Every structure is written in structure tokens, then in C-alpha cells.
Amino acid sequence: MQTEQYCISKIKEQRILPLFYHDDGQVCIAVLKALYSAGIKVLEFTNRGPKALENFKQLVKERDLHMPDLLLGIGTIKTANDASDFIDAGADLLISPIFDSAVCDVAYMQKVLWIPACMTPSEIHVAASAGCTMIKLFPGNVLGTGFTEAIRPVFPGLDFLVTGGVDVNEENMNAWFKSGVCAVGLGSKLISKNVLDQKDYAAIESLTKKALQIAGSFKNS
């Protein structure tokens, strides 16, 4: 398990955070391989189905065997029990759609990076006061880039990740980067249900390479 600061540095370096869930463990492994082949070194598997823990354990096993430099995060963590279960399963970082003090306590005790989601300045202040240094702004399509631009000067010591409604195109992604986020979360716009149903893993790899290229171009501009 990597340190919190190392995980943050990898997210900031990559600038995109792919996220997905599927009930079929073999599909999950195939998506993992496609993302890794595209150049992904940190991703989020979401805790959004009955087989989330079982499939996450399979991903950890696959990672340990063939992708030792890959960081596996687990998202949609809303309870302390889930946080503990996935940490025990090998999660490198936790991501939540909310701020929850019990999840915060588990992450703190286990020395695991936890990224809570916030939607208001008050929530961001609470998270920062609890020791969180990376905050997820969610849902991004509701908040908009103007929110990030307004928040950044108020919380200069924090890193912001945005998830929700980010499109894989230069105009949209660059607008978010210009607003001040350090990375964008990419879910169904990167790994769509249609692509998963068709098991078109080559399409996932290709689109992921495009997203990384856009993010890298902005970083180097």
C-alpha cells in the first residue's frame, strides 16, 4: 500500500482518473488491462454493485501479478465498514461521493488516502479541517467550472478533482483544468455501457489514450 502523498502525486501527474464498475469479474479484468495498456497508473473501481468487493479482490490479484505499478482506488465509499473491507482487500485509496466522519476516521487510522466529495464551501472547509488535502467536486456538471474558479482562491492549499459530466474532448477537459482542478474523473463518458456490452476493450484503450494526450498537452502548454 502506497503513502497518501504518493497517491496524490500520481493522480496529479496523470490528470485523469478513470472509474467504472461491472458485475462480471472477467469484464472488470479486461477493462483493467485496457486502461493499463493505454498508460493508466491509477484508477477508481466503484462500489456500486453486489459484486463490488468480490470483483475488486480479483482486480487486486491481477494487479499484483501483472501490474505492480498500478494504484487501485475504490469509489462510492459511504460507510466505515465498506472502507475497512476494501482497505483489507488491498485498496490504495478511497473515494466518496460525500463527507463522512466515520470513513474519515478509518482512512486516518489506516494511513490510506481518502478523497471525499464536496459541493459547498462549508463542506470543503469541514473536509479540510479533518485533514483532507484532495477534494472531489461532485457533481461537476451541476457545479460548473465557475464554481472551481471561485473556490480556488479561498482554499489555496487544497487540490481539487472533479467528477460528473466531464467529456473526453479538448474543449471540456481544458476548461476544467483552466478552472483550477488538478485532475478530472472520467466514468461513463470514457467507459460507456454500450462499449462494455459489446466488450469493445480496444475502444476503451483508444479513448483513454486520447484523454491522456489531452491532459498531457494541457499540462505541457
Q: Compare 75 and 218 and report the one with higher pLDDT.
A: 75
Q: Which residues of 46-74 are buried (b: 16+ CB within 10 A; e: fewer)?
A: bbeeeebeebbbbbbebbeeebeebbbbb
Using one digit for the tens of pLDDT, what is the confidence trace for 164-206?
A: 989 999 999 999 999 999 999 999 999 999 999 999 999 999 9
Domain ranges of the chain: 4-214
Angle, CA of 80, 82 and 85, to the nearest 5°: 110
What's the mean pLDDT in 116-135? 98
What's the mean pLDDT in 153-161? 96
Using one digit for the tens of pLDDT, what is the confidence trace for 51-102?
A: 999 999 999 999 999 999 999 999 999 999 999 999 999 999 999 999 999 9
- Distance, in Å, from the CA atom of 74 to the CA atom of 143, rounded to the nearest integer, reads 23
Given a cut of 70, whether residue 29 has pLDDT beyond it is: yes
Predicted pLDDT of residue 165: 84
43 Rama class: left (phi>0) / alpha (psi -120 to 50) / beta: beta
- Distance, in Å, from the CA atom of 7 to the CA atom of 22, rounded to the nearest integer, reads 24
Predicted pLDDT of residue 206: 98
Given a cut of 70, whether residue 48 has pLDDT beyond it is: yes
Average pLDDT, the chain: 96
pLDDT cut 90: percent of the chain above it = 97
Q: Compare 167 and 1 and report the one with higher pLDDT.
A: 167
* Topology of the domain covering 4-214: TIM Barrel (3.20.20)
Predicted pLDDT of residue 1: 62
Predicted pLDDT of residue 218: 85
Given a cut of 80, whether residue 220 has pLDDT beyond it is: no
What's the mean pLDDT in 156-164? 96
Q: Compare 37 and 218 and report the one with higher pLDDT.
A: 37
What's the mean pLDDT in 100-107? 98
Predicted pLDDT of residue 22: 97
